């Protein structure tokens, strides 16, 4: 097992830059998730770590070794593909032993390792089945098994749960997490599903447009997003933004919106722009009768334990997560107020969050 | 109302109609072939009798004549010979002839085998490598190259017969097995590349990527993972290539005479006494049909899936 480090990594396909100047350190034994919308460069980054794509520039370190220009077969990593890529002309056992055969292990060693991996993944009863007869979950387990048998330096997974149905996905998510705890392997996992990312990751890197916007623990990513994109991409629904046509000065701790003064965390940074946005998560807002932002109820979604009320204001639609007892009708006039001080101001020019008492 | 079947399933009437049409078509197609097989088991007289005989006494004369050279002898000479040692000698003597030696048929037949299978293997092997490269790599001018490869089939190959004849004579390739294998491979290769590229495109590249991550080189991954999955396409392509090189007549007539002559130009030249020896020709064509038939039956399972390639994703 090893630490993975990428520095100034860049990948271009013709005129298109898929990955821009990325820097990242993935610690030994860490479960690291690359999260982002499709086309954000997360899969390209993973494929460069695997050696399936060669970087245009920059370095990749696997442990101490610089592997950026090595062939995939020379890197000692395992890769789990979205479509599993199990060899259909071999049975489960042969799929599992395929990586070992190349490394010149003895027949008995191969047998021991395959059985060990099969036992760990609870697929020992289907070793002689053909791939086409397996369910999605079992295929997933075989794919993981094929990665496990070799005991590689790192596991790379490209949306391995993407093709499973919702029920299986939840189950496999748990199994993956347990497996990671059991074998403690450095894992890089790519997904566009934030729930998967949140539940699996030790740390998450959020990517967009080929750039790594923020890499941190799930709670930090959620509560203290570094950019407006991270704030809106993470969370369901994402963060609310209210555009404010005023600059932010150092030490400022109130903000006037539509004639009402709101408390904000004490700001430690001067905004570059005169058009910034005020960001707050739906659960940090509450409905009130006075002293808030005016609007009318546009829609109510019932989520079982919570309700999401969408309010139409002069600043666009704002979503408020309220508790279940709140009863509002469509078109009813309401006012919205922050219920705590978890407020982030995003600079209009850079889209970065400004430093404050909360965003320290 | 009959609700036991879905709207998509054909009615029993249309099933019967389809079956009838298929049977009629099969019978019509089989008439010339069965006539050929029947002729091969007739004797020289019943083969050319008019009206044609449908029921006749079967004889192996055609096959004996195909494999032997004979000469006519006087009755006195025949009487002076020791009694015939086996059934075919007896058959020949009853026609007042003696066997003077084996005919050239077996040699021509094995030439056909060597050249047919040799060029099929070469076309499929080279075609698979080229198709894989076109399917996976960023080849400069890929579309133009593919079109160029296809364009070699846009004229009948025989149109370049004269230049090839001259080139082969200068290179010493005329009337050699190697020369014919090269020639048929060149003609078949464009078909092989195009057919196989379609199949290669269908195989997700993740398979060989997985193999490469598992420690195999790209070439090893190609042989261990890609080729087994392209078996359908390889079987279909091999059959098409085999049929072409097995049946090819014009180049074989032009470029081969003795050493590498294949069966197609040889069979029509089997001449018996006083005209063409139809039973022997029938026997030759029947035997000639067998290898392709057996080859196709062996690969039939793959072929049926192969013809519908691209229609359904596995």
pLDDT per residue as tens digits for the range A110-134: 999 999 889 888 888 999 998 888 8
The token pair that represents A183 in the structure block? 């074998």
Q: Are residues A186 and A147 in the same domain?
A: yes
Taking CB atoms and an 8 Å cutoff, what residues of chain A touch B209? 52, 72, 79, 81, 85
- Note whether residue B34 is domain-resident: no
Q: Are residues B208 and B296 in the same domain?
A: yes
Is the CB of A71 less than 8 angstroms away from the CB of B225?
no
Domain boundary among B59, B87, B103: B103
In terms of DSSP bridges, do strands A154-158 and A77-80 run parallel, antiparallel, or are they unpaired?
parallel
- The DSSP H or E segment spanning B142 is helix B142-151
Question: How far apart are alpha carbons B203 and B206 in whole angstroms?
Answer: 8
Q: C-alpha angle with apex B150: B144 to B151, nearest 5 degrees?
A: 85
Q: What are the pLDDT digits (tens) for B130-187?
A: 999 999 998 999 999 999 999 988 988 888 999 999 999 999 998 999 999 999 999 9
pLDDT value for B312: 41
Total domain count, chain A: 2
Out of B209, B214, B228, closest to residue A52 by CB? B209
Enclosing domain of residue A166? 4-223
Which residue in A187, A195, A154, A220 sits closest to A33, CA to CA? A187
B57 domain residue, yes or no: yes
Contacts of B216 in chain A (CB under 8 A): 73, 102
Per-residue pLDDT of chain A (360 residues; tens, 9 = 90+): 689 999 999 999 988 999 999 999 999 999 999 999 998 999 999 999 999 999 999 999 998 889 988 988 888 899 999 888 899 889 999 999 999 988 888 999 999 999 988 988 888 899 999 888 888 888 888 998 998 888 888 999 999 888 778 888 888 888 888 889 888 889 999 999 998 999 999 999 999 999 999 999 999 999 999 999 999 999 888 999 999 888 888 888 888 888 888 889 989 988 888 889 999 999 999 998 888 889 999 999 998 889 999 999 998 999 999 988 888 889 999 999 998 889 999 998 899 999 998 887
On whether residue B4 sits in a domain, the answer given is no
Let me know whether B230 and B92 are in one domain: no
Residue B268 in contact with partner chain A when CB distance is under 8 A: no
Distance of CA A220 to the CA centre of its chain: 12
Most B CBs within 10 A among A87, A91, A142, hence the mutation to make, goes to A87
Residues with Cβ within 8 Å of A292's Cβ and at least 6 positions away in sequence, in order, are: A260, A335, A336, A337
Q: How far apart are CA A311 and CA A305, in angstroms?
A: 20
Its ipTM equals 0.80
How close B55 comes to chain A (CA, Å)?
A: 51
Query: Closest Cα of chain A to B126: distance in Å?
Result: 23
Residue to test with chain A: of B204, B209, B210, B219, most A Cβ within 10 A: B210
Together in a domain, A183 and A85? yes
For residue A73, give the nearest of B212, B224, B225 by CB distance.
B212
**Would A355 be classed as within a structural domain?**
no
Q: What is the pLDDT of residue A197?
A: 92
Under 8 Å between Cβ of A309 and A297: yes
Cβ contact (<8 Å) for B213 and A73?
yes
Phi and psi torsions of B258, nearest 5°: -120, -65
Read out DSSP for A183-246? H---EEEEES-HHHHHHH-SEEEEEETTEEEEEE-HHHHHHS-SBHHHHHHSSSS--EEEEE-S
Q: Note whether residue B259 is domain-resident.
A: yes
For residues B223 and B248, state if they share a domain: yes
Q: Side by side, which strands form the sheet with A65-66?
A: A16-26, A4-13, A57-62, A65-66
- B162: domain CATH number is 1.10.3720.10
pLDDT in tens, A320-353: 999 888 888 899 999 999 988 899 999 988 999 9
Q: What is the pLDDT of residue B45?
A: 82
Q: Is the pLDDT of residue B313 over 70?
A: no
Q: For B15-42, what is each residue's pLDDT tens digit? A: 999 999 999 999 999 999 999 999 999 9
Cβ-defined contacts of B268-274 (< 8 Å, 24+): B270/B65, B270/B66, B270/B103, B270/B105, B272/B44, B272/B65, B273/B44, B273/B72
Q: Is the dihedral of CA B74, B76, B78, B81 positive or negative?
A: negative
Residue B222: inside a domain: yes
Residue-level pLDDT at B50: 84
Q: Is A89 part of a structural domain of the chain? A: yes
Do B205 and B76 lie in a common domain? no
Q: What is the pLDDT of residue A1?
A: 61
Residue B185: CB atoms within 10 A of its CB come to: 23
Residue B223 touches partner A, C-beta closer than 8 Å: no
Biggest alpha carbon–alpha carbon distance for chain A: 79
Total Cβ atoms within 10 A of residue A180: 19
Residues B153, B167 within the same domain: yes
Contact residues on chain B for A73, CB-CB shorter than 8 A: 212-217
- pTM for the model stands at 0.79
Specify whether the CB–CB gap between A187 and A1 falls below 8 A. no
Q: What domain range includes position B114? A: 106-307
Please, what is the average pLDDT of chain A? 90
| Of B78, B103, B128, the domain-final residue | B103
Look at residues A223, A239, A261 and tell me which one is the last residue of a structural domain.
A223
pLDDT at residue number B82: 85
Count CB atoms within 10 A of the CB of residue A354: 21
Provide the edge-to-edge strand list for the sheet that holds A240-244: A240-244, A276-280, A344-346
Separation CA B104–CA A342 (nearest Å): 97
In this structure, the dihedral spanned by the alpha carbons of residues A267, A268, A269 and A275, taken in order and rounded to 10 degrees, is: 0
Whole-number pLDDT of residue B80? 86
From residue A229, alpha-carbon distances to A222, A279, A318, B142 in Å are: 12, 11, 17, 40
When divided into structural domains, chain B yields a total of: 2
- Per-residue pLDDT at B272: 64
pLDDT in tens, B101-129: 888 999 999 999 999 999 999 999 999 99
Looking at the structure, do residues B118 and B156 belong to the same domain, yes or no?
yes
Residue B314 has pLDDT above 50, yes or no: no
Neighbours of B199 (CB within 10 A): 24
For residues A320 and A283, membership in a common domain is answered with yes
How far is CA A190 from each of CA A16, A93, A227, A298, rounded to the nearest angstrom? Answer: 21, 27, 20, 36
| Confidence bin at B9 (pLDDT 50/70/90) | confident
Q: Which residues of A touch B213 (CB under 8 A)?
A: 50-52, 72-73, 75, 77-79
């Amino acid at each position: 097992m090893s630490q993975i480090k990428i520095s100034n990594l860049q990948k271009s396909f013709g005129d298109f830059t898929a990955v821009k100047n990325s820097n990242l350190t993935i610690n030994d034994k860490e479960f690291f998730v690359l999260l982002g919308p499709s086309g954000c460069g997360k899969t390209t980054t993973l494929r460069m770590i695997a050696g399936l794509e060669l970087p245009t520039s920059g370095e990749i370190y696997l442990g101490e070794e610089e592997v950026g220009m090595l062939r995939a077969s020379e890197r000692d990593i395992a890769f789990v593909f979205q479509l599993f890529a199990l060899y259909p002309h071999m049975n489960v056992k042969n799929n599992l032993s395929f990586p070992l055969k190349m490394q010149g292990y003895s027949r008995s060693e191969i047998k021991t390792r395959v059985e060990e991996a099969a036992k760990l993944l609870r697929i020992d009863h289907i070793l002689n089945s053909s791939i086409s007869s397996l369910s999605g979950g079992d295929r997933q387990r075989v794919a993981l098994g094929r990665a496990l048998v070799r005991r590689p330096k790192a596991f790379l997974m490209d949306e391995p749960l993407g093709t499973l149905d919702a029920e299986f996905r939840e189950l496999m998510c748990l199994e993956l997490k347990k497996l990671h705890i059991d074998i403690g392997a450095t894992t890089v996992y790519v997904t566009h599903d934030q729930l998967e990312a949140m539940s699996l990751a030790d740390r998450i890197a959020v990517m967009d447009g080929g750039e790594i916007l923020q890499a941190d623990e799930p709670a930090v990513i959620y509560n203290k997003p570094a950019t407006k994109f991270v704030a809106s991409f993470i969370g369901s629904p994402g963060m609310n933004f209210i555009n404010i046509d005023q600059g932010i000065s150092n030490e400022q701790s109130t903000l006037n919106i539509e004639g009402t003064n709101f408390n904000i965390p004490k700001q430690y940074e001067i905004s570059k722009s005169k058009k910034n946005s005020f960001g707050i998560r739906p659960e940090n807002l509450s409905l009130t009768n006075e002293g808030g932002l005016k609007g009318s109820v546009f829609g109510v979604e019932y989520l079982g334990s919570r309700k999401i009320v969408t309010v139409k204001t002069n600043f666009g639609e704002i979503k408020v997560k309220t508790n279940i007892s709140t009863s509002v009708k469509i078109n009813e006039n309401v006012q919205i107020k922050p219920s705590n001080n978890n407020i982030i101001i995003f600079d209009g020019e850079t889209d970065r969050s400004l430093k404050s008492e909360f965003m320290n | 109302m009959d609700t036991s079947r879905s709207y998509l399933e054909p009615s029993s009437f249309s099933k019967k109609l389809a079956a009838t049409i298929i049977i009629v078509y099969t019978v019509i197609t089989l008439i010339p072939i069965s006539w050929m097989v029947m002729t091969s088991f007739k004797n020289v007289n019943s083969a050319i009798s008019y009206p044609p005989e449908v029921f006749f006494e079967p004889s192996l004369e055609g096959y004996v004549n195909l494999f032997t050279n004979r000469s006519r002898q006087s009755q006195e000479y025949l009487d002076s010979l020791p009694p015939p040692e086996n059934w075919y000698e007896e058959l020949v003597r009853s026609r007042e002839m003696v066997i003077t030696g084996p005919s050239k048929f077996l040699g021509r037949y094995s030439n056909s085998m060597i050249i047919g299978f040799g060029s099929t293997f070469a076309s499929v092997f080279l075609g698979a490598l080229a198709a894989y490269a076109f399917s996976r790599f960023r080849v400069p001018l890929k579309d133009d190259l593919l079109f160029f490869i296809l364009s070699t089939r846009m004229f009948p190959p025989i149109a370049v017969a004269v230049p090839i004849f001259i080139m082969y004579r200068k290179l010493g390739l005329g009337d050699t097995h190697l020369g014919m294998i090269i020639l048929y491979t060149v003609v078949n290769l464009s078909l092989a590349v195009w057919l196989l590229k379609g199949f290669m495109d269908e195989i997700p590249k993740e398979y060989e990527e997985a193999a490469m991550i598992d420690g195999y080189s790209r070439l090893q991954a190609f042989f261990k993972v890609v080729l087994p999955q392209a078996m359908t396409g390889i079987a279909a392509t091999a059959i098409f290539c085999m049929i072409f090189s097995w049946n090819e007549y014009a180049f074989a007539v032009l470029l081969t005479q003795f050493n590498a002559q294949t069966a197609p130009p040889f069979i029509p030249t089997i001449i018996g006494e006083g005209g063409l020896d139809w039973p022997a020709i029938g026997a030759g064509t029947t035997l000639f049909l067998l290898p392709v038939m057996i080859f196709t039956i062996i690969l039939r399972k793959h072929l049926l899936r192969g013809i519908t390639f691209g229609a359904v994703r596995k």
